Structure 1
Amino acid sequence: MPFQTSSEPARATWPTGLDSIAYGGDYNPEQWPEEVWHEDVRLMREAGVNLVSVGIFSWALLEPREGEHDFGWLDRLLDLLHDNGIRVDLGTPTASPPAWFFAAHPDARVVTRDGTVLGFGSRGMASPSHPAYRAAAVGIADALARRYGRHPAVALWHVHNEYGAPVSDDYSPASATAFRAWLQDRYGTLDTLNAAWGTTFWGQRYGEWAHVDVPALAPSVVNPAQRLDFARFTDHALRACFVAERDAIRAHSDVPVTTNFMTTNCPSTDLWAWAAEVDVVSNDHYLTAADRRGHVDLALAADLTRSLAGGKPWILMEHSTSAVNWQPRNVAKRAGETTRNALSHLGRGADAILFFQWRASRSGAEKFHSAMLPHAGTSSRVWREVRTLGADLGRLAEVQGSTVRADVAILWDWVSFWAQDLEWRPSVDLDHRERVLAYYDRLWRDGLTVDLVHPTADLSAYRLVVAPASYLLTAAAGDHLAAYVADGGTLVVSYFSGIVDEHDAVHPGGYGAPLRTALGLTVEEFLPLREGDTLAVAWDHDGVRTELAADVWADDLALEGADVVATYVDGPAAGLPAITRNRHGAGTGWYVSTRLGVDGLAPVLRAAYADAGLAPSGLPDEVEVVRRHGAVADYVVAVNHADQPVEIPADGTELLTGTAVSGSYKVPAGGVAVVREARRG
């Protein structure tokens, strides 16, 4: 079921009526008596809240029976918020259809890969491919837009909630029908489909379109090309739902439309395609409590969101004031952590800092989730920090609209990740997310600001491009990377990259063939390690020999012009090249054929930095400093995650305290700073 991208003229790309950093969160007043609403609004004003998200899970109240609408409570709520100067991000409630919908359309329920039919009583949408769901979702979106499309409180439309979570792929009959239609549009003929999927293997060739089904569980591994196309189809089906609701809203409102992405935590959506469909990019991010350095993953998510936004300001639609409720161990944030998290997002381009949720719920599955107004009330530490953060963001109003520039890009491709994560890869330890985060963490510690980019994106602005996990890389993308190097760029590629084409077929010419020109080599054989095995790499640089610890993987390389800069000391590739550097045109291509940890990557990337004309910041590991560039000034945003103060270079005025800064500024342990400096070019 193809859909058309809107060809309308450019629309507003920021919530209307906001002239400062947006601050607030999800507001679910329907969970409370109306007399509580007035207390909520009073406390919102006290905390500096100026934007709230409303109605995201309210379908059963807005349409209690099919075709019957009750807008009275929402009328009163929007009027109350407007009267108090609080802007509204109005949601369409289509992530959670009401009980009457499933009673009327039981065949619209999602079916899992093993054939389980998912029931009602939780959250999560119906089958995105079911016509009745599509019609009902568009119907409620249209009704809301007709009524509130020009309401003075509405600053933004918020379609659905976290597409792809908690379910994405659906194996129901409706999905199978839609999948066949999608394949026919993509391939045209069965001969083309059979060729793309390599169906001569294991006798899978199709002679009728009706015989093509969803890739449900089978006696053995299902055709990986079919699995990859089903992932593409799933993304398309979800996005088509968004576009249908968005267009229903646009027929009645000129207010911008968004949906909340989950950039690093919802792998079923190709957000490069989604970003083109929203008027403003927004993201939800929650710390992983088990990760003691979760602030690095936070920075990665923020940089990825900014990259999806094309460098424009973006919305942090949800994060938490303290613990969440859905992880195995829900660790509370410590004093100051909420502010550090918020300022890290802001430093990396967010002009809106919102939470889930405003008032903690007394009932339901998320009653133990933290909130801006917690169960402990206004006497709590969390509430005091919420008020302080609101005041701080008010002092930073002038930062709004400034942008971030990066010298380094990391390749990020959801389609490649989908392909790499399928079964029967050479090692279960091939983890694309782990490799991306390892390289990103090294860059983060070295103080380099990073954009995330698709392999086919324009790379000319970047001195250094890193490819930590590019398993699926088309021949055209390989040519693009080779041209980037030839033009003077520096490229660093990790192992298991450039292996397959867009159909998950090994490239003609062998492993790494698309990267042969840029790297001056191919891979003759994979040499994965047994569980727990390690090896050493001898790194010789500037006359100094260092042994780097590695594990998981080695390659047997066939060099075609690359220089050896490190060799394997032991393991299955003992004595063979481990790390290479290839001169191509005016630039260089580096290949790292094993898994080095964050510390092991330090000398390798320092050498690549030298090629790229870059250098580490020299700041301690646990301080992050990002510069935002404005029309009349620049802003140095510093977040100190360490337990001791740190000096950062700066000249100007620290905006949170009003302190004049000359040469350097001491950021307290666990503290933050935003220094206005003279504008750079």
Structure 2
Amino acid sequence: MARSIQMNELTLGVCYYPEHWPEGLWEDDFRRMREVNISVIRMAEFSWAMLEPEEGVFDFSFFTRVMDLAQGYGLKVILGTPTATPPAWLTHKYPEVLNATKEGVPIKHGMRRHYNYSSTKYRELCERIVRNMVNAYKDHPAVIGWQIDNEFNCEKNVFYAEADHAAFRAWLKEKYGTLDHLNKAWGTVFWSQTYSDWEQLHLSQTESPNPHLALDEKRFISDNVISFAKLQADIIRELDPQHWVTTNGLFGHLNNHEMTDELLDFFSYDSYPQFSTIFYNDDEIKPLRDRQSSINLTNVRSISPNFCVMEQQSGPGGWVDRIEMGTPRPGQIRLWSYQSVLHGTDLLVYFRWRTATFGTEIYWHGINDYHNQPNRRVREVAQVGGEFAKIGALIAGTAYKAEVAFIQDYNNIWDGEMDVWHGPLQWQSMRSWFKQLQYRHIPADTIFLQPQTSLEDLAKYKVVVYPHPAIMTDETAALLAQYVEQGGKLFFGARTGYKDLNGQCYMRPFPGPVAELCGITVEDFTLVKGRIKAAELHWEGRLSEGTKTVGFNEVLSVQNPEAEVVARYSSEYYEGEPALTRRGYGQGQVWYYGAAYSEPVVDAILDELHLISPLADRIHAPEEVEIGIRASDEAAYAFLLNYSDQAVTIQVKQATKDLLTGDTLHNEAVMPAYGVLILEL
């Protein structure tokens, strides 16, 4: 059962760093927080040098004073363990705790995430500061929970210190037992890479490492992070079992599902929608921009259906040397806040109360500017705070509802980082499906395939998209066959099912373990890149000539008469050959597409499936509006979020009340630029 935050009402918080400000400002800050209905502050995650200014010398008085004052204003506190930023005395005295570059050069003090998780000395010192910190603060009445570290694997998600190489060798010994087993799993007979002694093994430091080593390396990093987090979680559980434990992030080389299931009460996410706006292609037609952040929130929901946003963007973002983001337009902070709430957030914590006047993040703005005078961002947050107070008890605990799901898995994500033949296809297909579902107002979930994933987990969805699982086991294939047999519609894409868990290619026809289920094999294939042209597609009545394939082209061969050809290639040397097939199996269907999915192809499939918005009979809205549903057994609420900088008109076909205003809407209603509606269903 997924772990969720338990809140009685939507709750608003803010990240606060009292060590950055004169003590004379604290009381006014807390008073003004309460005026805008902020009731939680998160702090201390970067404070190790204050808590332990010298080795073995602890001083917890500063944050005790802060919490005493916060308690007087009715503010609750989330405390972060400070292990993301070790103090200078520590890294100077114990340089073995530092991370290293790929070339083995130690990363000097002055950033964050410059330590390595493997150092026994660092773990010893982390255990000591966490134990002392928890003992000092666990009984303070303001404390409601603990955040472990901060954003695991942010900034750095690869590690090359000597301690990391040693820890990797120990991990490999435990996994494989013998070098013979390791050599077989890694195919080291290739290029004479065979290992004859454990000491010969290192993390990948070459430009083109053994791909099977590289896959295991990412698994090791994830396990290493989880073991580092466990040190802290165990201490908190031992000393302070009455308070919850979480951590924040969504960064690479970490199985967040496993970590949450084993260690946390729920997962937390840091939501900065403008990250989605600075990387999109200027030539893209109808880009999602900040709405694309909903993909990440969908992934977070697969970890914890109801979760905390530990950092919600509240201003322009940037360090002094990078990550430039413009100021949110009027209404966007509120829009992004409800984007998080729609997708499962019940505790929303803004980053940050006031913009820092010194340090690397002086351009990572918070609610208040340096001058500390009223501004429009403060007024916008106050509006959200007032609305949370009004509707929070109704929304908290309700869950996002969807009948379509994407399947992802860490093995394929990590393998695809290096594999240029299937890695790039995943994001192309996921984005195309997500984008077209969004524009048709069809909500979607994500399922991360784990060892414990069951038919029950899949069966609640009418449609499941698992676009490019190069790594596929027979056990997974059997589970997916059960899903289809009981009535599900399953979609695969190119490069499915040709690798085992070690990343080695099967000696069996593509798509390997699911070939029989799909009723096809792959007769021929080509990468589509540069001068290697994409083929055109033809699907009578759905796709016209001129629709191009993307990424990869597989020429399919029908092996089972139950598999029908839905679309064919209409150009290139494989003109007329099958490109998209569909097979009825039991009560369901399995589709196989020999390319990466594009928006026109997804649109044609959605038309063929007659898949429509669950609210089609009640609401008609333009594409600019995201529509989703949060519901419980007793009630359901439709969220409408306008991502456009222009007002839009929606049609409300059945009279319903907007929770935010109390108005009853019927027929036409106008949503302002970046407007939000929450309608009773």
* Common fold by TM > 0.5: yes
Structure 1 residues 153 and 509, CA, compared in 2 at 3 Å: closer, same or farther? same
Deviations 1:613-643 (A, max 9, x none): 9989864211111111135322111111232
Q: CA shift at 1:400, angstroms?
A: 1.0
Q: CA shift at 1:376, angstroms?
A: 4.9
Aligned partner of 2:284 in structure 1 is none
Report if aligned partners of 2:179, 2:195 keep a CA contact under 8 Å in 1.
Answer: yes
Give me the whole-angstrom Cα distance separating, in 2, the residues matched to 1:566 and 1:14.
45
Give me the whole-angstrom Cα distance separating, in 1, the residues matched to 2:125 and 2:557.
58
Q: CA shift at 1:12, angstroms?
A: 9.8
Q: CA shift at 1:343, angstroms?
A: 0.6
- Does structure 1 residue 501 correspond to structure 2 residue 489? no
Structure 1 residues 610 and 348, CA, compared in 2 at 3 Å: closer, same or farther? closer
* Structure 1: tracts of 5 or more residues without a match: 1-9
Aligned partner of 2:252 in structure 1 is 267
Give me the whole-angstrom Cα distance separating, in 1, the residues matched to 2:218 and 2:663.
53
Aligned partner of 1:3 in structure 2 is none
* Structure 2: tracts of 5 or more residues without a match: 281-286
- Does structure 1 residue 241 correspond to structure 2 residue 208? no
Structure 1 residues 612 and 26, CA, compared in 2 at 3 Å: closer, same or farther? closer
User: What aligned pairs does 1:69-108 form with structure 2 within 5 A after superposition?
Assistant: 69-108=58-97
Q: Which moved more, 1:129-138 or 1:622-631?
A: 622-631
Report if aligned partners of 2:248, 2:269 keep a CA contact under 8 Å in 1.
Answer: yes
Q: Secondary structure at the match of 1:50?
A: strand
Aligned with 2:649 (options 646, 671, 679): 646
Aligned partner of 2:175 in structure 1 is 186
Aligned partner of 2:629 in structure 1 is 627
Letter in 2 for 1:250: R
User: What aligned pairs does 1:595-634 form with structure 2 within 5 A after superposition?
Assistant: 595-609=596-610, 619-634=621-636
Aligned with 1:395 (options 390, 395, 416): 390
Q: Which moved more, 1:661-670 or 1:483-492?
A: 661-670
Give me the whole-angstrom Cα distance separating, in 2, the residues matched to 1:434 and 1:363.
40
Aligned partner of 2:246 in structure 1 is 258
Q: CA shift at 1:261, angstroms?
A: 2.2
Deviations 1:169-205 (A, max 9, x none): 2111111111111111111122211111111111111
Aligned partner of 2:216 in structure 1 is 229
Aligned partner of 1:278 in structure 2 is 264
Structure 1 residues 601 and 631, CA, compared in 2 at 3 Å: closer, same or farther? closer
Q: CA shift at 1:86, angstroms?
A: 0.9
Report if aligned partners of 1:22, 1:50 keep a CA contact under 8 Å in 2.
Answer: yes
Q: CA shift at 1:138, angstroms?
A: 1.4
Structure 1 residues 545 and 33, CA, compared in 2 at 3 Å: closer, same or farther? closer
Q: CA shift at 1:377, angstroms?
A: 3.4
Q: CA shift at 1:671, angstroms?
A: 0.6
Structure 1 residues 135 and 651, CA, compared in 2 at 3 Å: closer, same or farther? farther
Q: Secondary structure at the match of 1:378?
A: coil
- Identity across aligned pairs (percent)? 28
User: What aligned pairs does 1:648-667 form with structure 2 within 5 A after superposition?
Assistant: 648-649=651-652, 651-662=655-666, 666-667=670-671
Aligned residues: 656
Letter in 2 for 1:539: W
- Does structure 1 residue 133 correspond to structure 2 residue 122? yes
Aligned partner of 1:594 in structure 2 is 595
Q: Secondary structure at the match of 1:595?
A: coil
User: What aligned pairs does 1:95-174 form with structure 2 within 5 A after superposition?
Assistant: 95-174=84-163
Q: Secondary structure at the match of 2:293?
A: helix
Structure 1 residues 295 and 611, CA, compared in 2 at 3 Å: closer, same or farther? closer
Deviations 1:300-324 (A, max 9, x none): 1111111111x3x211111211221
Q: CA shift at 1:591, angstroms?
A: 1.5
Q: Secondary structure at the match of 2:549?
A: strand
Q: CA shift at 1:25, angstroms?
A: 2.0
Report if aligned partners of 2:565, 2:580 keep a CA contact under 8 Å in 1.
Answer: yes
- Does structure 1 residue 294 correspond to structure 2 residue 289? yes
- Does structure 1 residue 207 correspond to structure 2 residue 157? no
Report if aligned partners of 2:8, 2:397 keep a CA contact under 8 Å in 1.
Answer: no
Deviations 1:487-536 (A, max 9, x none): 21101112222221110011231331122133211223331123164432
Aligned partner of 2:426 in structure 1 is 432
- Does structure 1 residue 355 correspond to structure 2 residue 350? yes
Structure 1 residues 639 and 268, CA, compared in 2 at 3 Å: closer, same or farther? same
- Does structure 1 residue 30 correspond to structure 2 residue 46? no
Give me the whole-angstrom Cα distance separating, in 1, the residues matched to 2:213 and 2:629.
44
Deviations 1:252-285 (A, max 9, x none): 11200000022xxx22212221221210121112
Give me the whole-angstrom Cα distance separating, in 2, the residues matched to 1:648 and 1:318.
34
Report if aligned partners of 1:11, 1:256 keep a CA contact under 8 Å in 2.
Answer: no
Q: Secondary structure at the match of 1:97?
A: coil
Alignment RMSD (CA, Å): 2.4
- Does structure 1 residue 339 correspond to structure 2 residue 340? no
Deviations 1:532-587 (A, max 9, x none): 64432111148x85652333321122222221111111135322111111122221
Structure 1 residues 12 and 33, CA, compared in 2 at 3 Å: closer, same or farther? farther
TM superposition score normalised by structure 2 = 0.91
Give me the whole-angstrom Cα distance separating, in 1, the residues matched to 2:493 and 2:661.
44
Deviations 1:370-410 (A, max 9, x none): 20112253332212212112112222212111112221110
Q: Which moved more, 1:207-216 or 1:174-183?
A: 207-216
TM superposition score normalised by structure 1 = 0.91
